[in-house]
Amino acid sequence: MFKRISIFIYGVVSYAIFFATFLYLIAFVGNLPFVPTTIDGQPRLPSGTALAIDLLLLAVFAVQHSLMARPAFKHWWTQWVPVEAERSTYVLFSSLALILLCTYWQPIGGVFWTVENPIGRGLLYGVFAFGWGLVLYSTFLINHFDLFGLRQVWLQLRGRPYQSLAFKTPVVYRIVRHPLYVGWFIAFWATPDMTMTHALFALLLTTYILSAIQLEEGDLQAEHPEYADYRREVPMLVPRFSRRRKSLLKDEPAA
């Protein structure tokens, strides 16, 4: 029983760290004034040094995020990490990588665009907020608590075996295959003040996500054979509302 309780507490703490990091990341990217570090600011180091540090921080996050998500890696490290805590550990390491990035990120300077009109700025901040909302909403559509490890540690606390979730395509997942990533893209790019630092952050993470999607979809198709049909019918990121697609949405039962 002690082991079950310990794993459950570990999962809850890992989730709490993730959620605090997620909220901090919103403030970091949005340059909100109530956090100590933000994506923009006065350069503190020479441009070359700052760029090298930022590239290294993004590389650490990308490698951790993709490597630890691969089934082969999961099979290997669950020799030491309890299977029930595997997802929580992944979430914890991802959060630590983001904390590292936010803490040591270096502004570079330079501006690509600035929107000075108050209405335009307000609209862009609204789109920014919509992007983050879409990210969070998408996680709940596919089971937020399973995605971040809470369901796994809760089931083991109750002594019940874990069962993978069935494949489903609720709401916006019938319009695009990756609404969560669409939300990330919107959140990264919607800003009234696009600096070189912000553009670097957005461009490299966008490139990483587009690459990671290919790996993720391979894993999904291996786990869910029906994903192949879903992949053919539903666009990856950009919605299309053809007559055929509308018919599909109309006839498909709700998840």
According to DSSP, residue 83 is labeled G
In DSSP terms, 114 is beta-bridged to: 193
pLDDT at 248: 45
CA gap 129, 200 in Å, rounded: 20
CA gap 228, 231 in Å, rounded: 5
Nearest to 59 by CA among 186, 200, 198: 200
Contact 42, 111 (CB under 8 A): no
pLDDT digits (tens, 9 = 90+) for 84-137: 999 999 999 999 999 999 999 999 988 999 999 999 999 999 999 999 999 999
In DSSP terms, 196 is beta-bridged to: none
Q: What is the DSSP string of 181-202?
A: HHHHHHHHH--SEEEHHHHHHH
pLDDT at 242: 63
Please report, as a single letter, which amino acid is at residue 233: E
Contact 40, 195 (CB under 8 A): yes
pLDDT at 250: 44
Q: What is the DSSP string of 73-110?
A: HHHHHTTTS-GGGHHHHHHHHHHHHHHHHHHH------
Q: What is the pLDDT along the chain (255 residues), one digit of tens a residue?
A: 888 999 999 999 999 999 999 999 999 999 998 899 999 988 989 999 999 999 999 999 999 998 998 888 888 888 889 999 999 999 999 999 999 999 999 999 889 999 999 999 999 999 999 999 999 999 999 999 999 999 999 999 999 998 888 889 999 999 999 999 999 999 999 999 999 999 999 999 999 999 999 989 988 888 889 999 999 999 999 998 664 444 444 444 333
